[in-house]
Structure 1
Amino acid sequence: MPYAQPLWKDIRDDLRARIKAGLLKPGEKIPTTRELMNQHSTSSATVRRAVDSMIGAGELVGRQGLGVFVAGDPG
């Protein structure tokens, strides 16, 4: 039986797929932690781990008080 990857990686992979498909564009705000919690039926800590991993990889950018955005210039 194949080993299932941790849920935070599923969330990360989902966000990456949305970016690749153009559903989330550079400079666009990603869904809130609460929205991602509801979409994936998980805790804020799990969502935070996924988002933090993408911030660390330079794929997302956090802006204090504004939210988290897809890295890169819009357009």
Structure 2
Amino acid sequence: RQTYDPAEQYKMNHRRRGVALIFNHEHFYWQLMLPERRGTSADRHNLKRSLTDLGFEVRDFENLRADDVLQKVHEGRR
């Protein structure tokens, strides 16, 4: 398993920055009995705009189940 090295930086000096995945969860599976997270759409919008301005290809997803999140992460690694 890899560990994060805080001294390591993401290289930002190339034209193609990569893919940024945003997972926005406002509504949860009802059996979890978790409250809605109001305001997350504005957060998602602001984050998407910032990452796009930095040159990332942004893919955002809404209210995915855990297995769907894992699938999107796997797809994003390609």
Q: What TM-score comes out, normalization by structure 2 length?
A: 0.29
Higher strand share: 2
With normalisation by structure 1, the TM-score equals 0.30
Larger Rg: 2
